Structure 1
Amino acid sequence: MNGTLENCEKFNKEEKDPEYEEFRCRSLRVNGEVRDGVCQCKPNWKGPICNEYHGCEEGQSLYGSVCTNNVCQHGGSLAVGKKLIECICPVPWDGRNCERLACWRKTDHGAEKRFRNAGDKCVCSNYYKGESCDEIISCLNGGTLDGSRCKCPDNFGGEICEKKCPKGMVTCSTCSLQVFGSILVTLMYFLFSR
């Protein structure tokens, strides 16, 4: 309804459910209380989850008993999580309060080595260049650059030869096929053994 995890059916009822109102104040509000049978923000608190204190300056929240900068840093926003009130962090920030630079969040799974942290910004790692750090400029583990791709030595694979193949596997493709084959055999056994 208003940016929180409300049970819409119960939220929209004209007659409020006392049990749901108690749950709402206890679980979905930072500073809520039940008054006249309805979950409301405590005095001097506002916002969809009662997390904004009226007495603090713009851009600040009450933390403990002191007005401080909002808990969520770097443009993060407060939201109701699975168990707690938490910060939703914009890429590339991470951490409970969006305080930690996490450049790996800028890439797809498996390409985490493209960026590295440099103070308060992300830059390309030593093996990449370009605006999106997607151009390979060198390889790991004795790999050689062949055009825009790494040619990996035996026992290594991956985009920049960063992955060591399992024992007994010589090349990346054999390694990948062997792992995929093992998963497929396991899945087929599980499906047909019942």
Structure 2
Amino acid sequence: MNGTLENCEKFNKEEKDPEYEEFRCKSLRVNGEVRDGVCQCKPNWKGPICNEYHGCEEGQSLYGSVCTNNVCQHGGSLAVGKNLVECICPVPWDGRNCERLACWRKTDHGAEKRFRNAGDKCVCSNYYKGENCDEIISCLNGGKLDGSQCKCPDHFGGEICEKKCPKGMVT
């Protein structure tokens, strides 16, 4: 054997291995350092990968190497990666600066199109109504509303006839 298994096994030990801690800090932590044989966040850095800076005054965030007014809206905080600065947004906010509601988070998987963003609130898209935007009011691609469901023409499918069937298939 080439020693690969042996090298892997030494990182599975319960006790802290200084070599592993050094590796962990260099590859898994953005602003980590080995102190007392353990990988820890550098002073004022927090978060699971040490990318959240907590050394600025209230209302400010680190941008580059300077504390500046926080560009993140709605209580978001700046996170700094190796080459990236982005906002960490509290639920339900989203966007580069936490400027819009994450309307897509309000829906089950596959029903993302039911909501659309209208600034500081989520509203139903043009094809739905109701408190949860789950009542269909119109169909796409020539579909006809029959009660609470769309009847789609040939070659279209989906809840509101939004999906084109693959060539050679008919609904």
Q: State the TM-score, normalized to the length of structure 1.
A: 0.59
Partner Cα distance (2:9, 2:158) in 1: 50
After superposing the two structures, state which structure 1 stretch, 138-147 or 94-103, moved more: 94-103
Tell me which residue corresponds to 1:56.
56
Q: Give, in angstroms, the shift of residue 3 of structure 1.
A: 33
Change (3 A) 1:158 1:39: closer
In the TM superposition, what whole-angstrom CA distance separates every residue of 1:2-52 from its partner, at most 9, and x where no partner exists?
999999999998953111211232233332222343323334445554445
Tell me which residue corresponds to 1:31.
31
Percent same amino acid among aligned pairs?
Answer: 96
- Between structures 1 and 2, the one with greater helix share: 1
Q: CA RMSD in A?
A: 6.9
Is the partner of 1:87 in helix, strand or coil? strand
After superposing the two structures, state which structure 1 stretch, 122-131 or 85-94, moved more: 85-94
Change (3 A) 1:73 1:167: same
Partner Cα distance (2:148, 2:122) in 1: 22
In the TM superposition, what whole-angstrom CA distance separates every residue of 1:85-142 from its partner, at most 9, and x where no partner exists?
9877566555577566553343233322211222243210111001110011111122
The answer to whether the 8 Å contact 2:61/2:78 transfers is no
Q: State the TM-score, normalized to the length of structure 2.
A: 0.65
Change (3 A) 1:44 1:143: closer
Q: How many residues align?
A: 169
In the TM superposition, what whole-angstrom CA distance separates every residue of 1:48-106 from its partner, at most 9, and x where no partner exists?
54445453123543221122466876566899999999877566555577566553343
Change (3 A) 1:82 1:89: farther
Partner Cα distance (2:150, 2:33) in 1: 61
Q: Give, in angstroms, the shift of residue 157 of structure 1.
A: 2.0
The answer to whether the 8 Å contact 2:143/2:161 transfers is yes
